[in-house]
Copies of this chain bind each other. A is one copy, B any other.
Amino acid sequence: MSQHRHPGAPGRAGAVPALPDLPEATVARLPEYLRALHALADTGHETVSSEGLANAAGVNSAKLRKDLSHLGSYGTRGVGYDVTLLIDQIESVLGLTQCRSVALVGVGNLGHALAGYDGFASRGFRIAALLDADPSRVGEEINGLVVRHVDELPRVAVEESISIGVIATPAPAAQAVADQLVAVGVTSILNFAPCVLSVPEGVDVRKVDLAIELQILSFHEHRKASLTALPGGLAATETQEAIGT
């Protein structure tokens, strides 16, 4: 990954890439920009304005410009951003220039789907190993990969140079799996099990809980229903209902 340093980069210049210390919120949006940019590139666009890209990514254009400015200004005033250049930049910042190998633990319902999901491969991730604790599942072949027993993790981790672990086991098994992943040196975990994982400092865990998303939607649905139940009037008694205190 070729690199250059960023203007105004505070830190001591490392040999490798300057780490601009991106705001977390920005990092979370970069992948979305990347997706939108790929779509634009596929449709033949060579440049794009912040307005256009912001639209495609579903965000505010000022926010997008500020996000991009954090990684060092690759736009041209009056013109916009060069699509391919920006793609390269973002991929570089996200560390996607190298293909990362993923170990997927838990080949149940969800694990099966994840193993077959092509959205990973198409974005630079390789599912390098499928593991499960259930002996009856070991040996099964999914999408060209054979399921191995989770105890083989140490060997697999080295052979495939795993850099990310995905947990798709039932909740009760998740913590043990996380411990095993950490033990073999994995420092990034994506957890689909509905439970909190405790991991040592320096290990990143991201959690995806499908049911939680539905519950959040449920809240808004509930709220909308209550609002429409009251016709326009409403405001009679404002304020109060101070329950607390």
Q: Using CB atoms and an 8 Å cutoff, list the residues of chain A in contact with chain B.
A: 1-2, 4, 7, 9-20, 22, 24, 27-28, 30-32, 34-36, 56-58, 69, 72-73, 93-96, 100, 102, 109-110, 112-114, 116-117, 119-120, 122-125, 163-164, 187-190, 194-196, 201-227, 229-230, 234-241, 243-245
A216 touches B28 (CB 8 A): yes
B125 touches A214 (CB 8 A): yes
Can you tell how many copies of this chain the complex includes? 2
B201 touches A238 (CB 8 A): yes
Q: Known: A28-B244, A221-B163, A241-B204. Contact between A109 and B102, CB under 8 A? A: no
Among residues of B, the one whose C-beta sits closest to the C-beta of A121 is: B211
CA distance A19 to B241 in the complex (A): 10
- Kindly list chain B residues whose C-beta atoms are within 8 Å of the C-beta of A213: 190, 206, 208
Contact of A235 among B10, B18, B57, B237 (CB under 8 A): B10
Q: Nearest Cβ distance between residue A181 and chain B, in whole angstroms?
A: 12
Q: Known pairs A110-B117, A188-B220. 18 more at Cβ < 8 A?
A: A1-B58, A11-B238, A11-B239, A13-B241, A14-B230, A19-B226, A27-B219, A28-B216, A69-B244, A72-B244, A95-B219, A100-B214, A100-B218, A119-B194, A123-B215, A125-B214, A125-B218, A190-B213
A206 touches B217 (CB 8 A): yes
B27 touches A210 (CB 8 A): no
